[in-house]
Amino acid sequence: MHIVVDENDRRPIYQQVVDEIKALIARGELREGTALPPVRQVAADLGVNLNTIATAYRELQREGLIIVRHGAGAVVSSSTAQEKTDDELRKPLRAALTQLVLAGLPRAEIMSVVTDELRGLLKGNR
Amino acid sequence: MSKTLILLLGFDLLMLAVFMFVPVMRGEDAFFGVRVSPEVYRNEGRRLLHRYWLWLFLIFIQIEVIGLLVSFYKGRTEFAQIAPRFLFLPCVMLFYVIFYRQAKRLELVEEHQRFASSLKTRRLADYTNLALEIAIVILTIAPILVLVYYYPQLPERIPTHWNWKGEPDEWARKSYYAVFSLAAMLVYMQGLILIIKHGLLGVKMTLPAEHAEDYLRLKEAALALTVRFMDWMRLLLCIMLGSLATNIAFSAVEHLRFLSRVVTVAAWAAGLLMFAAIAFAIYRFYRIDRRLKSEVGRVYVQRQRDAAHWYLGGLIYFNREDPALWVEKLVGWGYTCNLGNKWVYAYITLMIGIPLLLVLPLES
């Protein structure tokens, strides 16, 4: 099991790490109780600053997906993110759909893009 | 021809072979420590390599001839044999670096790279063979117990060095230091190798985004091989140093003298097995590289940014920005320290400084 980081991606590295780990949790590959590797190991592997990975872990902890204990490391604590309001969840989806509409895709194609992405996300073949 | 001359010639030949092989041992991923394209590797690279081999060979012949001439002329072998030997390694290094600079011009720069990180934690427990550890602990403590038990019976003059047949050829006045230094060295070496082993499990693994799982699996196999190799070396070290340490008692106490022969054989067997273990590990590393080549297509992957931090043609890694302490060797098999990490200097002190402190008083 691994996460992928792209230097040319517009998202900051810590955000990519957060998104990758979230995807693994969503897919059920990272189950509750699974230990994440120490910050030092991930930072060394990806060749980034320790703080970058520490920030990513803090972000995941803030969302209630992992618990970081001093000395014991990070453990996946839940497979569902902390409660967000309906509107908070819909907002990024709305923004993404707007992009698709503006790109001139017809309604049926947008629907197939959405189901496609969802299937990919849950199965893991991105 | 003296025995030393043949030994030194053998050593030079080994050096020559190693330095001939080093630029190509990892193929186009580390040609003189530089990543080049397969086409360049097969054409310009091959020509550069042949020129390099020719130079190495000329240097070798020249230095051996100088050595021989001076030995005959002076009639004194020791100094004349050894002096040119000191020339050989620096010369070979120099030519390696000169050709590395030429290879650098052929470098393939990768613009867009994506990397992966494993989410598996490498734990010391997963890399520990319990039965072996128990054997090591017993074999580490046993010599100390033997020496403590026989200490009062030891004569005033105790052996500290033995010839290949196990007969003492150097003695020292009896003291705690003279009796226990070898056993102390053994305990120290065990601790030291364990620290290194623990550090190695945190080795940086730069994984390519494509074939990440295959690449990771084979690199972890290489790590497991290294760690297992270190474990067996620890055991063999126990047998060798333990044999020598107990031989202090066995060759000095009359009714134990028959055991002296047993530990001499054990020390020899352990020494020979060490060479066998090294040869076996090299073979296995070679096999892993071959599989990487066929399954992933790459033997060594690193970010472009890191590639600029290898010096002397990929022999030394110095990168202050890199949090890693241990990195996989670019040229060669196994691992090396990131000299840009300040913790490395603690390691080096542990590795060289303290053993020297333990051994130096014994020499005088």
B161-177 pLDDT tens trace: 888 887 888 888 888 88
Average pLDDT, chain B: 88
Residues of A within an 8 Å Cβ radius of B: 1-8, 21, 24, 30, 35-38, 40-47, 49-50, 73
Q: Which residues contact B95 (CB under 8 A, 6 or more apart)?
A: B52, B55, B56, B59
Would you say residue B190 has pLDDT above 50? yes
pLDDT at A126: 47
- Kindly state whether B120 is in contact with chain A, defined as any CB-CB distance less than 8 angstroms: yes
Find, among B49, B45, B51, B43, the residue nearest to B22 by Cα.
Answer: B49
pLDDT at B232: 95
Dihedral sign, Cα of residue B276, residue B280, residue B281, residue B282: positive
The Cα of A4 is separated from the nearest Cα of chain B by a number of Å equal to 4
Which band of pLDDT confidence, cut at 50, 70 and 90, is reported for residue B11?
confident
pLDDT at B52: 95
Which band of pLDDT confidence, cut at 50, 70 and 90, is reported for residue A34?
confident
Query: A-chain residues within 8 Å CB-CB of B305?
Result: 47
pLDDT at A54: 93
Q: Is B335 helix (H, G, I), strand (E, B) or coil?
A: strand
Find, among A1, A49, A44, A43, the residue nearest to A21 by Cα.
Answer: A1
B261-320 pLDDT tens trace: 899 999 999 999 999 999 999 999 999 999 999 999 899 988 888 888 999 888 899 998
Residues 254-313 of B with CB under 8 A from A: 303, 305-306
ipTM of the complex: 0.70
Q: What is the rounded distance in angstroms from the CA atom of residue B253 to the CA atom of residue B257? A: 6
Find, among B127, B308, B108, B118, the residue nearest to B215 by Cα.
Answer: B118
CA angle B147, B153, B156 (to 5 degrees): 95
Amino acid at A74: A
pTM: 0.83
Indicate yes or no: CB of A47 within 8 angstroms of CB of B213.
no
pLDDT at A82: 64
Q: Can you tell me the mean pLDDT for A32-57?
A: 88
For residue B173, report the phi and psi dihedrals to the nearest 5 degrees. Answer: -70, 140
Would you say residue B322 has pLDDT above 60? yes
Would you say residue A12 has pLDDT above 50? yes
Both tokens assigned to B227: 């760690």
Indicate yes or no: CB of A8 within 8 angstroms of CB of B112.
yes
B175-189 pLDDT tens trace: 888 888 889 889 988
CB pairs under 8 A between A and B: 83
Which band of pLDDT confidence, cut at 50, 70 and 90, is reported for residue B99?
very high
Q: What is the rounded distance in angstroms from the CA atom of residue B207 to the CA atom of residue A1? A: 12
Candidate from A2, A40, A50 with C-beta closest to B116 = A2
